[in-house]
Amino acid sequence: MQFEQDVLARSQEIPVVVDFWAPWCGPCRILGPVIEQLAAAQQGKWELVKVNTEEHPELGERYDVFSIPNVKMFYKGQVTGEFVGAIPKTAIERWLEEHLPNSHKDDLAQILAALENGEDPAALAQLEAFVLQNPGIAEAGMALASRVVVHHPAQAKELVASIQLGHLLYDQAEDIRTLAEWFELPADNGSPAAHLLHDAATAYAQGQSDAAVERVIEAVATDKTYHSDLPRRIAIALFRLWGPQHPLTTNYRWRFDMALY
């Protein structure tokens, strides 16, 4: 095995998946046959190279292999994805689907770029059509779910239904399910927390995000355990959706933490 030629040079033409393993590693012996079977079945899409870290410790050090089995995808000479451990075959297939370069991903990137600065109706229609044509691309379903969850929570849940524990997008899918649960909450069930969450959902649907998160935090302070910790879960989902640097996150996260503890 010549790493420079078999991996770095070859990855200029086709993705190369490198399985870092060792003979003494039990999980490696479980993963090895599975990934070898996938490589044979998907021949032409990517190639597999096995690196014994006992024989090539310098490669493990060079590519930050701290635990094995460690699988990395190389494309155009760069690591474009990785996972650690003997994960199930279905999870490996999803990982490959998400990281193998293809024109579909390029099309999706262009659509999402058009949506980045606002809800462009034409771009949203393109995204809906893309999801229909490519139901196996989880990122597309997630992107659409995040945009329809307010007014169509049932559709949003359906879009992320296949994303379960072990998937790279699992946390984001759980956030979508939490937001859908919020928007499906009955208007009046006698609970003060429910009233606050209903008011928050109405404000959020009207684009009043500040008022919405304020009501959610008030619901946390009132009864954070309501409906299986729904107020707490909503707040966390919103902060993750906005991202750590978003003004709403920086303005309200500390208030949420105070209400929680």
- List, for residues 196-231, the tens digit of each pLDDT value: 999 999 999 999 999 999 999 999 999 989 999 999
What is the identity of the amino acid at 9?
A
- Mean pLDDT, residues 238-245: 92
Most distant pair of Cα atoms in the chain: their distance: 69
pLDDT of residue 208: 95
- Annotated catalytic residue within 7, 17, 25, 238: 25
pLDDT of residue 169: 84
| pTM greater than the 0.85 cutoff | no
pLDDT band at residue 94, thresholds of 50, 70 and 90?
Answer: confident
- Mean pLDDT, residues 120-147: 87
| CA–CA gap between residue 162 and residue 149 (Å, rounded) | 16
pLDDT of residue 230: 95
pLDDT of residue 44: 80
pLDDT of residue 19: 96
pLDDT of residue 103: 53
| CA–CA gap between residue 108 and residue 123 (Å, rounded) | 10
Active-site annotation holds for 92: no
Active-site annotation holds for 160: no
For 250, phi then psi, to 5°, come to: -65, -30
Task: For each of the domains in the chain, give its residue range(s) and CATH number, in order of start.
Answer: 3-99 (3.40.30.10), 103-179 (1.25.40), 185-260 (no CATH)
pLDDT in tens, 15-40: 999 999 999 999 999 999 999 999 99
- Annotated catalytic residue within 7, 16, 17, 28: 28
- Asked whether the predicted pLDDT for residue 163 surpasses 80, the reply is yes
